[in-house]
Chains A and B, each alone.
Chain A
Amino acid sequence: MAAAYCLRPCPYPAKALFLSWALLIATAVLARTGPPQIAGSSDAPTYTLRGTVVNSVTGDPIRRVLVQAGPYAQLTDAQGRFEFTSLSAGQFSIGVQKPGFFTGNGGGGNPATIVDVGPKTPDAVIKLIPEGIIFGHLTDENGEPMEDVFVHVRGWRVINGRRQLQEMSGQSTDEEGNFRLFGLMPGTYYLQTGEVADHGAMQMPFSAGRGGYPSSYFPGVRQLNAATPIQVAPGQKVQADFSLRRISAFQVSGQVTLYPGGRVTMLQLMESSDRSSTLPVDLSFGSGAFIARVVPAGSYSLTAMGVDEAGHPLFGEKAITVASNLTGVVVSMAAAVSIPVVVETEFSSSSLAGNQTPIMVQLSAIGDSGQMYVSERPQQGRDQGDSGLVISSVQPGRYYAAVQPQGNWYVESIASGSTDLFRETLTVGSGTQVAPIRVVLRDDGASLAGVVRFEGEPVSASVLVIMQDEPLRVPQMLMADRQGAFQIENLPPGDYVLLAFDNTAELEYANRDVLRDYFSQGTRVTIGAKDAKRVNLDVIHR
């Protein structure tokens, strides 16, 4: 939605107004508070809304921007101006859109641009943020252009409160080795090339063996932690030329062991240090034999998944170091780890007890592989008594657990054996079973309400409700409306820190280390069961 529209004199420093990053082309929000008003359908008076759309970096007006107000739409003129006549009185959401620009949106809790149209509607000024572009030239170790290499752009994004390196876009280089990646939101990016078998696809001279260009990060390194991030400011065009080094590549072949009657469903070969980078493997699903023909020297992990005769999932993993051709590599599969989820309810109200209590438990791998598992009902419909939920085929690793209750209750605790998952991560070893995850739900939650202010004036904000002693319990985020009011029910009793932010763009709110820096500006409150408390909060400016 449009950024930086202030009805009253703006209380915040001009530069930092409501700037949160949004999707490339913001979709128009046609929310309205009443039935659509059709001009001329009654004797109601009509009003005019005027405004200008400007470039947030240069301040220059932008021509030919599509502006939508209610059901009406028009393009701004050469001076970036728009004018809607014959609008009825009331609230309208204004949407703006133009290729090559982003709007600052309501993500992180800021309201969309809502205009009160009436006799004295002030002129609107709407800012659009210009896109960033990364372009460049990819060459090999001889300075020759590399054609048809896929270049990924990956950037940090906060997903469910945690930072993850996400793929934003990508493109293959042309025959001059050029690439041009546009439509980028301001931020920090890494460029990663897809792996390439000898480019030009000939191996010269033949006796030297195969070679290849393993997946690399700008400016030409294999590991992410050695990569140079590229900063893209709004409207900036960054040139990123780099070159790749050919290294010897080898062949890896072997066998995935099978259970009798079972079969392999997937085999992945990935770099140990960057599990998102996978290499092609030819796999025979029936026999389990595999061969990877062009594997650059390095450390890898072979991960296999399959099913046994009864359809139960199998999993196997093998670490290998490739410095020459490898044959006879064996990947043994064992029963995949499945974690049952048991839900216990401690409900005082008898009307809730006995219901199926739907919840969802999510396991997210630590690190930036983005791997995630969600609880589900087992396919065989086994009666498990309590909730019948299970998290299937979890690969070895360490995970954060998050749980979403869906009803008038709160999660009191979530644990696996003696591991309190609101305080510690869950470690899953290979082949060994994991203690069932026990979730306890209670219905004696408290309610909390309050007002957020800036220098005494109520303002809208994003409020984080943080349970102090449970660092892995993801804080709840609420919106305070334009009168600064917010409210939450079913709050677990405990000691809290409340933080109200003017914007939560790129705030890794599930990461307690990040939030701790703000605790001194927050408000502490202790809440008991069934309490109803009110608090006043002061906005923190980020």
Chain B
Amino acid sequence: MMAKLSSGRLAALVLAMGAGMAAQQLRNPAAQEADWTIAGTMISAADGQPLSRAEVSLASTTDRAIGQGALTGNDGRFRFPGLPPGKYVLQAQHRGFVSQIYQQHGAFSTAIAVGPGLLPPDVLFRLQPEAIISGKVVDEAGDAVREARVMLLHKSLLNGQWGTRIENSAQTDDQGFYHFGHLLPGRYFVAIQTEPWYARPPMRWIGRTSVAKLSTTTADRSLDVVYPITYYQDATEPDDAAPIDLQPGEDATADINLAAVPAQHIKIHMAEDAVVQGFNARFSQQLSDKTAISVSANFQKIAPGVYESTGVPPGNYEVQMFYAPKPGQEGGVKQAKTVQVGKDEEIDLTEPSASASVSGTVRFVPASKAPEHLSIMLVGAHSQEAFRTPISPRGDFAFNHALPPGEYQVVSRSVEGLFIASLSATGAAVAGRTLKITSPDPVVLRVVMSRGVAQVKGTAVRDGKAVSGALVVLVPTDPGNNLVLFRADQSDSDGTFTLPVVVPGKYTVVAIDNGWGLEWQNPAVLKPYLPHGQALEIAPEGRYNIKPEVQDF
């Protein structure tokens, strides 16, 4: 099932429980008997040994008032008797282990179903010993660096896609130490972002007829320094970052040495008549395939149309400038350019930007007014950056910021069962639900929306028997261009699963046992499984109940 709890949120779970013997408090006491039991054993995923004094909580997926907690005994056993029929989510916690939901995979987990005709399994709940990454950050003089921002990046499968994302961040203490605990095994990176505490830019005297620089001694220049974003192991390029392949229960050390480098002074040339108010610029560096980070930079206007930025570490950046529109121009203007600081000292942004303005109309079939709070969103395929704009009651929309070239998923949150039925555009190419902007030409997007999202439920089976914990994926046709149409779920202990908010169309349902290592949003990875999947044509408002055959991973 789609987990409504994330690991580590047991406090919230406790608050959801009723007081006293909640198992006896039923919404409708006369209607159902409450004599079902869920029991199991908690073991360590590392050595299979039972875990005593582990805290287990149980919560009903349908009735927030029903919940219990228990401690495992010396044999690692736990037992929840007296339950009414229904589905229950189990969550466990133990010192030294990572708190988890039963068979949790990201946002999915296996709920335990009890009721007439359902024999719940004896639950074998594996907890991963927690791993730790800690270390010390030291500067070029060997001194501890305090209050540095440390980012922990984790390469993980999220929504069927591999990506390296910032999982947590911390600050170093006075001894330069940082510490990340409660980690699952996996591949991690550590990145440090900070400034030398002693950095001082050379003085400038602005406001005189010429910009004068103080004649500086070598001592003064040595203080105009910055730290590039530094990765373990002392790398300054994201590609050179050393991965930490963390084992279950490992206590890994990742010390990092920072080396100060001369600050870059970058001149940015803008069209002279660009309105300065509301000007701001952002230097962002790609930390990993799915994460960009902003680097702060000071800006000063030194001449009409010329801005100088100080304090930028060398590296590869995308410089984005936002400035107020000229009178008569709508919305803000954004220009972006990729620069390599350390080589380019002058950036020319006087050319019209390559960004396109995007606007359009939504037609509703059958015809109707746009509901309130309906918006349309473009999500960058590689940057994950999202741009959203509301749709007017007449069905018009226009994005405030011009969009740089790239591929975008077109997404609209399902309001009143609405979904995007089809897309077409001028000024850009459309494939499935993907918009591909290649030039600065204005883009006009025509969207057709219909009502009637569907729902697909079912039971994953193998040879007629229900399969628990299977990955079930609803794959659209032309999957590469329709990433937003994918739906997935994890089957519960009775094999059942639910795929809500399905956009009508042609799909293939694929159920894979132990499929949780699969990058299931990658069409190439899915290809071998599709021939054995179940074809499904989904009509608006359709309600389907299917029994897909489970394939082996």
The interface of chain A, by Cβ under 8 A from chain B, is: 36, 38-40, 64, 66, 68, 71-75, 85-86, 97, 99-100, 131, 133, 144-145, 174-175, 180, 182-183, 197-198, 200-207, 209-210, 251, 293-294, 325
Contacts and interface: CB of A to CB of B under 8 A. Distances in A.
B173 A202 contact: no
A210 B19 contact: yes
Contact of B220 (A74, A180, A182): A74
26 contacts: A38-B215, A39-B215, A66-B198, A73-B200, A74-B223, A75-B223, A100-B146, A131-B174, A174-B179, A174-B181, A175-B182, A180-B173, A197-B11, A197-B14, A200-B95, A201-B93, A202-B55, A203-B14, A203-B69, A204-B69, A204-B71, A205-B70, A205-B71, A207-B20, A251-B19, A294-B15
Contacts of A293: 15
Contacts of A209: 19
A40 B215 contact: yes
A85 B220 CA distance: 12
Given A180-B173, A206-B70, 9 more contacts: A66-B197, A68-B200, A75-B223, A86-B217, A182-B173, A182-B174, A183-B174, A202-B69, A206-B22
Contacts of B219: 74
Contact of A201 (B11, B146, B182, B212): B11
Contacts of A205: 70-71
A85 B217 CA distance: 10
B14 A198 contact: yes
Q: Interface size bucket, B side?
A: 35 or more
B31 interface: no
A71 B22 CA distance: 71
Contacts of A73: 200, 220, 223
B20 A64 contact: no
A38 B208 CA distance: 14
B214 A206 contact: no
A111 B70 CA distance: 65
Interface string B179-196: 101100000000000000
A423 B227 CA distance: 58
Contacts of B203: 71
Contacts of B68: 206
Given A73-B220, A207-B21, A38 B214 contact: yes
A66 B224 CA distance: 13
Contacts of A182: 146, 173-174
A455 B109 CA distance: 81
B134 to A, nearest CB: 10
B335 interface: no
Given A64-B143, A71-B214, A73-B223, A180 B19 contact: no
B10 interface: yes
Contacts of A294: 15
A149 B272 CA distance: 54
B200 A202 contact: no
A338 to B, nearest CB: 38
B13 interface: yes
Contacts of B143: 64
Nearest to B9: A201
A205 B71 CA distance: 8
Contacts of A133: 174
A242 to B, nearest CB: 20
Contacts of A86: 217
B30 interface: no
A175 B205 CA distance: 51
B274 to A, nearest CB: 32
B57 interface: yes
Contacts of B146: 99-100, 182
Interface-central residue, B15, B68, B182, by most chain A CB under 10 Å: B15
Contacts of A206: 21-22, 68-70
Given A200-B10, A203-B14, A64 B198 contact: yes
Nearest to A41: B215
